[in-house]
């Protein structure tokens, strides 16, 4: 994604969206089905649905987006039947395409949180953690570190200056396919979320570097990234297979931290009285024991005379 032309990205995204919609889905007659050379809508069909000239819409897909009004974007989104995440992504791309890099200070993805946020994490009874827009695990409470211990090859609590990355783990670590029983769903979700975050901040060098790395090292990632799918991530359930306590199905809630742009808080909670809740209790006990052992081992040795 590094040095991507944001105007060109709009065209790529619109092309990918119209390829997913057939004429009959939007009520258009098809008189020459055998001669159609595109899997979805043609440019002229999108233009007709949006109330635009085909020349104007074609120029938009070719990256000429200066002067496009919000009403035009709304009409295109309606014609392509974009859902909430796709509409937000389109508007994010358009806004970033009109922003001069010289007028916007590039910022690196943050790796630290405020002390009050850490206290909130520590006060939550279930796993709680914060990730950044690059999908690095920036901070967590003890139970969350235990929950995501498979991401750390050697220690449950790693050096905070080198956080692990959820998307890199999913695509480059063979243990991910065991940790995520439905690996395909998690892989799709991870890429779609990363693309959504990338659309919000075109100058985040950390995201650009990560996408470049994964595109080079993983065919699975590259194929998914090329689909231009996006996603919003607020609530739901996930299933994991933890190497210590086995299968866990857990509900989640996510929310951005407005005072820390790009940071997202996630809270996990297992339904009371279920095997997953019992597994979380066992995991908490394991975490307390593991951390206590690690802390003891990290203490400097003392001679008998001290």
Q: For the chain, where do the domains classified as CATH 3.30.450.180 start and end?
A: 115-298
What is the per-residue pLDDT for 110? Answer: 62
DSSP one-letter code for 66: T
Q: Give the 3-state secondary structure of 110-128.
A: CCCCCHHHHHHHHHCCCCE
Of residues 31 and 260, more confidently modeled: 260
**pLDDT > 70: percent of the chain:** 84
CATH 3.40.50.300 fits 115-298, yes or no: no
Q: Which residues pair with 237 in a beta bridge?
A: 251
Check if the beta carbon of residue 237 is closer than 8 Å to that of residue 252.
yes
Q: How confident is the model at residue 119 (pLDDT cuts 50, 70, 90)?
A: very high
DSSP one-letter code for 270: P
State how far Cα 118 lies from the chain centre: 22
Whether the pLDDT of residue 125 is over 70: the answer is yes
**N-to-C CA span, the chain:** 57
Whether the pLDDT of residue 35 is over 90: the answer is no
Residues 6-98: name the CATH superfamily.
lambda repressor-like DNA-binding domains (1.10.260.40)
Taking only the tens place, the pLDDT of each residue in 242-263 is 999 999 999 999 999 999 988 9
Q: How confident is the model at residue 3 (pLDDT cuts 50, 70, 90)?
A: very low
State how far the Cα of 59 lies from the Cα of 138, in Å rounded to an integer.
41
Q: For the chain, where do the domains classified as CATH 1.10.260.40 start and end?
A: 6-98
What is the per-residue pLDDT for 286? Answer: 93
State how far the Cα of 159 lies from the Cα of 137, in Å rounded to an integer.
12
Closest-CA residue to 13 (of 196, 259, 194): 196
- The mean of the pLDDT values for the chain is 86
DSSP one-letter code for 26: G
- Mean pLDDT within 158-181: 88
Q: At what angle do helices 70-79 and 54-61 cross, to 10 degrees?
A: 90
89's tokens: 């992504």
Check if the beta carbon of residue 61 is closer than 8 Å to that of residue 43.
yes
DSSP one-letter code for 135: -
What is the per-residue pLDDT for 1? Answer: 39
Of residues 99 and 302, more confidently modeled: 99
Q: How confident is the model at residue 223 (pLDDT cuts 50, 70, 90)?
A: very high
User: E-strand spans in the chain?
Assistant: 128-131, 137-140, 235-242, 246-256, 264-269
Of residues 298 and 37, more confidently modeled: 37
The Cβ of residue 55 has, within 10 Å, a number of other Cβ atoms equal to: 10
Q: What strands lie across the sheet with 137-140, from one edge to the other?
A: 137-140, 128-131, 264-269, 246-256, 235-242
Closest-CA residue to 60 (of 85, 90, 32): 90
Of residues 24 and 305, more confidently modeled: 24
95's tokens: 């806004």
Taking only the tens place, the pLDDT of each residue in 141-167 is 999 999 999 998 765 555 556 789 999
Residue with tokens 């060098």: 205
Q: How confident is the model at residue 53 (pLDDT cuts 50, 70, 90)?
A: very high
Of residues 26 and 139, more confidently modeled: 139
pTM: 0.85
77's tokens: 């989104």
């Amino acid at each position: 994604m590094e040095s991507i032309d944001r105007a060109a990205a709009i065209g790529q995204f619109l092309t990918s969206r119209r390829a997913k919609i057939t004429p009959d889905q939007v009520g258009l007659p098809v008189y020459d089905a055998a001669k159609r050379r595109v899997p979805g809508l043609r440019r002229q069909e999108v233009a007709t649905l949006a109330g635009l000239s085909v020349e104007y819409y074609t120029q938009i897909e070719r990256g000429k987006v200066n002067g496009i009004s919000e009403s035009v974007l709304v009409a295109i989104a309606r014609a392509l039947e974009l859902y909430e995440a796709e509409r937000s992504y389109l508007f994010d791309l358009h806004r970033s395409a009109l922003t001069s890099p010289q007028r916007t200070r590039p910022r690196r993805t943050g790796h630290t949180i405020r002390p009050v946020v850490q206290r909130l994490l520590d006060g939550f009874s279930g796993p709680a953690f914060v990730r950044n827009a690059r999908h690095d695990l920036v901070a967590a409470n003890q139970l969350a570190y235990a929950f995501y211990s498979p991401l750390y090859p050697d220690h449950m609590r790693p050096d905070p200056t080198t956080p692990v990355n959820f998307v890199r783990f999913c695509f480059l670590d063979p243990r991910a396919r065991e940790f995520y029983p439905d690996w395909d769903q998690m892989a799709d979700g991870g890429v779609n979320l990363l693309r959504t975050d990338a659309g919000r901040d075109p100058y985040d060098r950390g995201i650009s570097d990560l996408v470049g790395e994964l595109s080079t090292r993983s065919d699975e990632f590259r194929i998914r990234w090329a689909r231009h799918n996006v996603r919003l991530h607020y609530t739901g359930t996930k299933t994991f297979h933890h190497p210590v306590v086995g299968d866990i199905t857990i509900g989640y809630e996510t929310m951005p931290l407005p005072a820390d742009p790009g940071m997202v808080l996630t809270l996990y909670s297992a339904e009371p009285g279920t095997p997953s809740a019992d597994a979380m209790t066992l995991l908490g006990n394991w975490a307390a024991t593991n951390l206590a052992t690690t802390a003891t081992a990290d203490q400097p040795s003392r001679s008998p005379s001290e």
